[in-house]
Structure 1
Amino acid sequence: MSATPPGAVEGLAEYRPELGPQVLLSDAMLQGAATVHLIKDTAGGGSFRVGAKEHFLIARMDGSRSLAEIGEEYAREYGRRLDGARWQQILRMLGTRGLLAGAPARPAGGPASTPAPAPAEPDRGLLRGSIRLVADADATTDRLHRAVGFLLTPGWLVPLLALVLAMEVVAALRIGELLDATKGLFGNPVLLVGAATLLWFSTALHELAHGVVARHHGGTVAEIGLRWRLPVVIMYCTVGNYLYLGSRWQRIQTALAGAVMNLLFLLPFCALWLFAPLDTATRDALGALLLLGSVQALAMLVPFPPLDGYRIASQLCGATELAGSTVAYLRLAASRDPAAGDYPRRARNAYRAYGLGAVLVLVGIAAAVVVAAHRLLTT
């Protein structure tokens, strides 16, 4: 029998460690200038951060590789071997947290870098609060996915997105007519309430779309509920493992799903506005709904918290939401810290491209507001 290879724990060279099925690993992210990976125990709820080298080792603990084989891969990647003490430290860390298959679950109160917070009593009051609408949000989302998930296949999604693009082109070309219709809508309280109700309903679909797309990519939904900060009342949908979805593109799709749903919601109203024989008041109400709904959807893509564009920008930059604000991403883009590797360059490129789109959206919204205000003041 061959001797224990260097870089493996003595007596455990052939040990094949395997992470438990409840363990989730994230892609590389940035916290400040440091590259980190998140590891989550879905059974216990705890999560913690590790560096790129630790992630390299842990990600290969799938039961098919021995410690000796993992050690050889590590040596080829990083040009050095781990000694027995370091291996023992890593295995002890995983074992005490109950993350290795066959290891006992971590008892309550056991070690964890970021323990799951205890469920808090709902903070409800007359002016602000929240309430869950369904007992099992994940099961509800799963049923919705089974019902409408076929729309996420290319055969359906590509034509729908093409129709959305055509709708927005028509809206841009006829912006003057839509602005006049919006002005008229605000002079008709009954139609205004109807349009506001439809826009609120579209925000509810917006939230559910986040959950359905996350479920399509193997995600889980932790909570669906209603949140109020009077006079604003909105639905919310919390994707429990958003940062652990399989790829950055899947996370971007999940964040983008809400705005796309808002625009898809407008398609039948746009068709009625364009082709149905309607009276002037109803047609103007539909035109106003098209304009207001489009502005609502596109404004969500601006990269400022807590809008969807904030999460999209964070994924484009490779940064984790732990960074906390758009300002942090901008500082990251300007970073020259060698510890961040090529992330600052990627962040700069991502923000240039995404920021240009956000500026165009803001300019368009501002122009529409200025034109509408001018027409109101001159008529």
Structure 2
Amino acid sequence: MTLAPGELGAYRPALRPGLLLGPARLRGPATVHRIKDPGSGSSFEIGVKECFLLARMDGLRSLDDLGEEYGRQFGRRLGEQNWQQLLGLLGSRGLLAGAPGGAPESPAPAGLPVHRPRLEGTPLKGTWRLVSDAQASSGRLYRALRPVLRPAVQLPLLALVVAMELLLGLHLGELGRGAWWLAQRPALLLGALVLLWLSITLHELAHAVAAQAYGTGVAEIGLHWRVPMAFMYCTVEDYPYLRSRVQQVVISGAGALMNLVFLLPFCAWWAALPPGGDARRALSGLLLLGSAQALVNLVPLPPLDGYAMLSNALGLAGYATETRRYLGLRLSRGPEARTRLAAYSRRAHLVYGLYGLATALLCAAVAAALLLTAGRLILH
């Protein structure tokens, strides 16, 4: 978009309706915001200054007004060339209302594009989209479950699952023996695996319901298969654009909480049985496998839910990737690396340094546990 110099100051830009503008996130040394066009699905990151301007492009403020606000905030005014570049970028991406050649004024309906096939892949590996409109289907599920999604219900459930895991931790030896006993009985083991598969299905639906509770979209619900395994999946794409980090964390962690809630009746049954019986052994194995499934998913490593929870809680983008980049700079001794490190804030040094250290310790602990287990198996 190009305007004559005399028209530039009076122009009142407005972003197209429906665009999503995310909150501030730290990416390396920079603070960024992500903007997305739901109609096309395209998104890109902008800096704090660009976000300041875009958030105020409401069709009421002129560029002169925006320039004054920008000057008060950042201590400098933008020149005509800066404005032309910014408006040209927004216009070329179809993000300005009335921009020629842009995307449609109204965003596309929630869900997947109609041209995408429901079944993709080969008999060995593929995807089956189970519902044509994931947003509508998850919305119906949310409305049905709304009475039990209130804090008065969810907080006691959270307390119960914490108490359950503490109780199971006190009986870890019994659970381990039960899992070994279960592994030697294929029919019972198959039943336990079917229950865990059902837990995974509920895990994915829990993400969708949590997303609906906070008003963000559910793009896809379907089935992934890679022979011999098949798992449900749910794609919630737009929750990082929510302004509340708490809501983002809840959506990220809803699946793991569902896994643990699923185990509550089995834990009550297990606790009511006397030690030594076959039923208690089978339940011990199920509880150990189910708890491991849920708790491992909370480990803050990609692509696990725990990683998304930590990234959302801290307001970080590309946490693992940026940590690797940061550690690479720390290990480098060249002047360029020192210059680039100087651009990192104190907070950035802290979050990337601690995550790198914690990841290294976690990997070392897992490696030590595997070596110890292998050694015991060889000796016995």
Q: Does 1:157 align with 2:161?
A: no
Residues 213-222 or 14-23, more deviating: 14-23
Match for 1:42: what amino acid?
A: P
* Mapped contact 1:319–1:329 kept (Cα < 8 A): no
> For 2:31, what is the secondary structure of its paired residue?
strand
Rounded to whole Å, the distance in 1 between the matches of 2:258 and 2:321 is 26
Q: Paired residue for 1:220, among 213, 217, 233?
A: 217
Kindly report the root-mean-square deviation, in angstroms, between the aligned alpha carbons of the 2 structures: 3.7
Give how far 1:128 is off: 1.0
> How far off is 1:376 after superposition?
12
TM-fit CA distance, 1:252: 2.0
Shift, 1:72, TM fit: 2.2
1:233-282 deviation per Cα after TM superposition (whole angstroms, max 9, x unaligned) = 11111112133222333222221111111111111111111126899222
Which of 43, 49, 61 is residue 45 of structure 2 equivalent to?
A: 49
Residue 25 to residue 107, structure 1, CA distance change in 2 (3 Å):
closer
SS at match of 2:121: coil
Decide whether aligned partners of structure 1 residues 65 and 28 sit closer, same or farther in structure 2, where only a CA change above 3 A counts.
Answer: same
Q: Aligned runs of 1:232-247 on 2, under 5 Å?
A: 232-247=229-244
Greater displacement, 289-298 / 27-36: 27-36
SS at match of 2:300: coil
Equivalent of residue 78 in structure 2, options 54, 68, 82: 82
Matches of 2:98 and 2:314, distance apart in 1: 37
Alignment partner, residue 21 of structure 1: 17
Q: Any stretches of 5+ residues in structure 1 without a counterpart?
A: 1-8, 109-115
CA distance in 2 between partners of 1:42 and 1:105 (Å): 17
Q: In the alignment, which residue of structure 2 is the partner of 1:185?
A: 182
- Whole-Å separation in 2 of the counterparts to 1:218 and 1:251: 11
In the aligned structure 2, how far is the partner of 1:62 from the partner of 1:343?
33
Q: Structure 2-normalised TM-score?
A: 0.81
In structure 2, give the amino acid aligned to 1:345: H
Report the TM-score, using the length of structure 1 for normalisation. 0.81
Q: Greater CA deviation, 154-163 or 342-351?
A: 342-351
Q: Which amino acid aligns with 1:283?
A: R
Give structure 2 stretches of 5+ with no counterpart: 105-111, 332-338
When structure 1 is superposed on structure 2, of 196-205 and 118-127 the one drifting more is 118-127
Q: Is the 8 A contact 2:327 2:356 kept in 1?
A: no
| Count of aligned pairs | 361
Residues 1:209 and 2:209 aligned together = no
Residues 1:200 and 2:197 are matched in the alignment:
yes
- SS of 1:221's equivalent in the other structure is coil
Counterpart CA distance in 1 for 2:114 and 2:324 is 30
1:296-344 deviations in Å (ceiling 9; x for gaps): 1010112222211222233345332497587457659999634443451
Partner Cα separation in structure 1 for residue 131 and residue 151 of structure 2? 31
Q: What is the one-letter code of the residue matched to 1:287? A: S
Tell me what 1:297 maps to.
294
